[in-house]
Amino acid sequence: MAGVAWLVVLVVASAAVLDHVECAKYRITPSSTSVLQGQTVILQCAFYDLTAKDIVTWDGPPNYESIAFPSPGPQSSKGQNFPLKPVIHHESVGRAVVDLILPTLTKWDNGVNFTCTADQGYPQLTHPKSSSAILSVHYPPTVIVPQTSVHVREGSPANLSCMVDSNPPATVTWRKLGHGLVMKGKKGGQTMSLPKASRYDSGVYECTADNGVLPHGMGTATLDVQYAPWIDPTMDDEITLMHDQEGFKLRCLADGNPKPHIRWRRKDTSLYWENPLRFHRVRYDVEGTYQCVATSDGFQEVTKDTFINIVGRPQLLGEESVSATAVAAGGTARFACDIMADPMPDRIIWLWRDRDGIEKELTVASGEFIAISKKRDTDTKSSSSSLTIKDVSYNNEGTYICRASNMFGSVQRNFQLQLTESDHLPAVIIATTAGIVLVATIVIIGIAVAKKKGLICITRPPEPLGVSAPRPMPPIPKYGRKRGHGTNDSGVEDLELQEVDGTMKPRPPPRVDKEWKAVGLTYTAHAAKYRVMPKSTAVLSGGTITMKCAYDELTPADTVVWLGPPNFKKLLATGKAVNPRFQRYAITGDHSKGEFNLAIRDARRRDEGEYKCSTFGVDEAEGQATLTVVDPPEVFVPRPSIFVKEGDLANLTCLVDGNPASTVTWRKLDHHHSLAGTERGNHLILHKVSRYDAGVYQCTADNGIPPVDVGTVTLEVRYPPWIDPSMKQTITVQYDNDGFSLDCLAEGNPKPHIRWRRKDTSLYWENPLRFNRVDYGVEGTYECVATNAGFPEVSKETKIDVIGLPHLLGQDLAEVLTVQSGGTARLGCRIVADPLPGRITWVWRNKHGIENTLHDGLNGITINDKITEQEMSSALTVKHVDVGRAGTYICQASNIFGPVKRNIQLEVKESKTSLFIIIIATTASALALMATMAFGCVLKKRRVTRKQRKPTAVHGVSASRPMPPVPKYIHATNTIDSGVEDLELHELDRALKPHPSSRGRDDKEWKSVGLAYSGLVHSTSLPPYSTVERQLPDGEDNIRHLTTFREDGPTVPATPSQ
């Protein structure tokens, strides 16, 4: 019958007297050594020669009522009152069996004592005979965790407990979930203690109880180790950023329990930012020391400093890059230039570009009216320079340029100086105008007075009749004019079974009643002697062992004692009484038969040793036995993780506890070759570790007692960074390429921090190196830098070579150049390319759209070309610029990738100085003309007056011949000089005539109507004089006589004709 246990009690009856009761024993179906929870148990009591007066009784614990069965007959119905514990009466020839059925046992039935008693009802003749059975119900363990969460501080002890209820007692093991090792607690098993908890001990721990009855009992407890905030020490102490970089952020990695609150603070301030630290655009004012601050409840804050260093091209502080300043003439102009940069510029230079576009560097020695002051502050990485110009004049107008540069580039600011009208200029203009008006007024008044007094001729005097008017004065010559220009113990394990001879079992009758008088039994007493001697044995730790000891011929006066280790100094039991100090010990067996067995449950290592069972009169040496408590190996790894540097010695250790001693072997997981180290029992020695020795090593302990135990040690070998040597030394990238990146592969332990750095600078970029757009400024040598804690940095160089079409530098420069007329225009063109163009060509497109190629030395044009390794520049100079030189000047170049060009518009302006000179010259000419006219009128008046004073010619005499026409040489030379220096003129009848030179009488002759001079130089240019007869007005009395000159005689008056 499966699931049913049979307990058989045999009772023999003869002649209506019980002969004996067979000791209770189990008969289990199916075969088993235990009664499991949930099974049904049948207790059988067998009788022989049972009479009708014999009464059989089953007695149980207080919660069970006695069940009595008389001999078969009408009273057998008594058992029917207990339907849950039915009794079945079986009869056969000479034998009767009473069964007690216990259905569906529970753990609460464990240890219950049932007694079958046969009573004839004649106490004077015989006592009842009985036999007992104690139920041992095996049930699986139940685990209760009294404290599911344990919170401790790092360094404090931590105890994790679980309470176990089971039969037989369970073995408790602990393990950390997610961790491969099995951990065992202190003795007792239900508590695991950590003397000093660390942050790495945090986690969920599982206790498993196993007593061989399924299912296993399990419970979990969470260990929470709280520790102070901890900031990742690999965070850089200094970080270098590029000025004007966008979108920078710095993250601080910190750990702690409770989880820390991480913020950033600028050192020595109370200004905080959340983590990560972000800057939308990096400026020089970002530079400084920042602290990562980690705080958590119950602990002090922890900080770590990081210095942010900003490098880059100079930055101008203050106003925009171009500003205009207006200063009055004679005043003082001041310009200031403040610059921040790292590295700082060597100096700040001042340039002056005049109105003609010519640039000149200004220094202190440039003039007594120019002063330059400089100030430099290395703490704030700022420089300042100021330029002062005193007594500003028109010549100081132009553009003043403040310029500074470092290795990252240059920056400049233009100050436009404009001159306003001086306070004295209106006075000068007014005074000049007043003077001109005054002079003109005087001249006009003088002319009017002269007219009134008749000093200025108005009409010509009358001429004699027949006399031609003198020839007019030659015109005034014209003169040319020049023109300027970024463990509660549950108690279950100590539960002891009640004494067999205790309250749960009726005490047997004294041994003096050994004879049955009714049947005539007799016996003879002899000295006690061993029937069963203790034997040396072994027991598994935690198990139960019974060391048997039985005597024959014991008397009531005999006392059996058990002595134990060490050296039999411990008195364990006297008779049936066990020393209260040993709660796990019990004396079992049928004492009436001299059985005093020592039962030890939950055997422990301290129970091991020699035991002695003795009584008076026996040889004690024969009653000695050795108990050995064996224990499977238990491995404890003191250092689960070992960190060593490559090349150092590594010692891996496993501590093993077990009895007998264990054999320890080592192997490397996932490694199928023999180990390179030396195994020395619990130790594995690796003399010179390499990075390839890193991994998980397993030690296995085996002492022949299953199960074997294992432990693991993780060996971490630290070695310096190593950069992949296959990375190219030179990489060619095309100019204007978008999204270029270069990845550096490196390994090391700890994992290295990989960055890029431009060679010979402190400018860093994160890996991979990225460029949003490739230009020629990207070209250069870059270093992949790998760093990790405890080792020097390792770097590898890579040159980035940029090729492509030419690129014009200075795209932001002005494309329109204005030059004063007569000045000099300078145009520049700088080109970067790889490969370089063959040459830079200049083309001029005039206002009519006609293009001409310009060459050096043509029409005042100078072209200077310079060539460096990757840059080509050309400067075009045009001197004496006039309006005809205006137009578009084109600088163009090309290589195999394509052409590039720049158009520069040249505008020419008339000079204000030239206009001023023209106005002054015109005014002066007008004044001079007026004065000349006035003087001419006065002179002519005088001549007329003198002419009127001389006598008039005789009536009828012809007037002198008129003035000859203006000679031709006057029109050719614009001068009245005839070229004949020695020619004399004399007045003849108020007309200037050439004085004749001396001559002979044969080549000259006088004529009545004029003179003819054959030897006169001007004879070909001057026409001969003619005499014109002019009639005088009426009144011949007023006729004046003409004086006739004779060559050879005196002057005689001419006789008027009739």
pLDDT tens per residue, range 306-355: 999 998 889 888 755 557 788 888 888 888 898 988 888 888 888 988 87
The torsion region of residue 104 among left (phi > 0), alpha (psi -120 to 50) and beta comes to left
Q: What pLDDT sits at residue 88?
A: 61
- Residue 220 above 50 pLDDT? yes
* Nearest of 57, 53, 45 to residue 21 by alpha carbon: 45
pLDDT tens per residue, range 62-75: 666 566 655 444 33
Q: What pLDDT sits at residue 956?
A: 45
Q: What pLDDT sits at residue 92?
A: 64
Q: What pLDDT sits at residue 843?
A: 92
* Nearest of 86, 89, 57 to residue 72 by alpha carbon: 89
368-390 average pLDDT score: 81
684-703 average pLDDT score: 91
Work out the pLDDT band at 293, boundaries 50, 70, 90: very high
12-40 average pLDDT score: 45
pLDDT tens per residue, range 776-800: 888 899 999 999 988 999 999 999 9
Residue 139 and residue 492 in contact, taking contact as beta carbons nearer than 8 Å: no
Domains of the chain: 1-135 (2.60.40.10), 138-227 (2.60.40.10), 232-313 (2.60.40.10), 317-420 (2.60.40.10), 491-630 (2.60.40.10), 637-720 (2.60.40.10), 725-803 (2.60.40.10), 809-910 (2.60.40.10), 934-1053 (no CATH)
- Residue 855 above 80 pLDDT? yes
Work out the pLDDT band at 292, boundaries 50, 70, 90: very high
Work out the pLDDT band at 1010, boundaries 50, 70, 90: very low
- Residue 984 above 50 pLDDT? no
Residue 621 three-state SS: helix
| Of residues 30 and 228, more confidently modeled | 228
- Residue 458 above 60 pLDDT? no
539-545 average pLDDT score: 90
Q: What pLDDT sits at residue 912?
A: 60
Residue 904 and residue 888 in contact, taking contact as beta carbons nearer than 8 Å: yes
Work out the pLDDT band at 426, boundaries 50, 70, 90: low
Q: Residues with Cβ < 8 Å from 539, sequence gap 6 or more?
A: 545, 600, 603, 627, 628, 629, 630
The torsion region of residue 880 among left (phi > 0), alpha (psi -120 to 50) and beta comes to left
- Residue 689 above 80 pLDDT? yes
Residue 617 and residue 528 in contact, taking contact as beta carbons nearer than 8 Å: yes
Percent of the chain with pLDDT over 90: 24
- Residue 157 above 70 pLDDT? yes
Query: Which of the listed ranges 52-61, 260-269, 321-330, 410-419 does the model predict with the highest average pLDDT?
Result: 260-269
Residue 206 and residue 178 in contact, taking contact as beta carbons nearer than 8 Å: no
Q: Residues with Cβ < 8 Å from 459, sequence gap 6 or more?
A: none
Q: Beta 641-645 vs 709-723: how paired, if at all? A: parallel
- Residue 515 above 80 pLDDT? no
Phi, psi of 857 (to 5 degrees): 85, 5
Q: Residues with Cβ < 8 Å from 715, sequence gap 6 or more?
A: 642, 644, 650, 652, 686, 689, 693, 694, 695, 696, 697
Q: What pLDDT sits at residue 34?
A: 67
How far apart CA 820 and CA 829 sit, in angstroms, is: 22
- Residue 990 above 80 pLDDT? no
User: What are the structure tokens assigned to 663, written together?
Assistant: 């054999």
pLDDT tens per residue, range 620-679: 777 889 999 998 999 989 989 999 999 999 999 999 988 888 999 999 888 777 787 888
Within 391-501, strands assigned E span: 398-406, 409-420
Lowest mean pLDDT among 204-213, 566-575, 703-712: 566-575
Work out the pLDDT band at 745, boundaries 50, 70, 90: very high
Q: Beta 55-59 vs 40-48: how paired, if at all? A: unpaired
Q: What pLDDT sits at residue 366?
A: 65
Q: What pLDDT sits at residue 15?
A: 27
How far apart CA 1000 and CA 1015 sit, in angstroms, is: 10
How far apart CA 934 and CA 445 sit, in angstroms, is: 11
* Nearest of 543, 566, 564 to residue 632 by alpha carbon: 543
Q: What pLDDT sits at residue 40?
A: 82
Lowest mean pLDDT among 41-50, 507-516, 589-598, 861-870: 507-516
pLDDT tens per residue, range 713-724: 999 999 999 999
Residue 661 three-state SS: coil
- Residue 945 above 50 pLDDT? yes
Q: What pLDDT sits at residue 376?
A: 80
Cβ atoms within 10 Å of 703's Cβ, excluding its own: 19
Percent of the chain with pLDDT over 70: 71
Lowest mean pLDDT among 32-41, 494-503, 974-983: 494-503
Residue 329 and residue 393 in contact, taking contact as beta carbons nearer than 8 Å: yes
pLDDT tens per residue, range 106-124: 888 888 888 888 777 777 6
| Of residues 493 and 420, more confidently modeled | 420
Q: Which helix (H) or strand (E) holds 564?
A: strand 561-564
Q: 1032-1051 in b/e burial notation, b at 16+ Cβ within 10 A?
A: beeeeeebebbbeeeeeeee
- Residue 971 above 90 pLDDT? no
Q: What pLDDT sits at residue 190?
A: 84
- Residue 187 above 50 pLDDT? no
Work out the pLDDT band at 32, boundaries 50, 70, 90: very low
Phi, psi of 120 (to 5 degrees): -85, -10
901-912 average pLDDT score: 82
423-446 average pLDDT score: 78
Work out the pLDDT band at 102, boundaries 50, 70, 90: confident
838-862 average pLDDT score: 87
498-521 average pLDDT score: 42
Q: What pLDDT sits at residue 265?
A: 94
**DSSP summary character for residue 429:** H
How far apart CA 436 and CA 924 sit, in angstroms, is: 9
How far apart CA 604 and CA 599 sit, in angstroms, is: 13
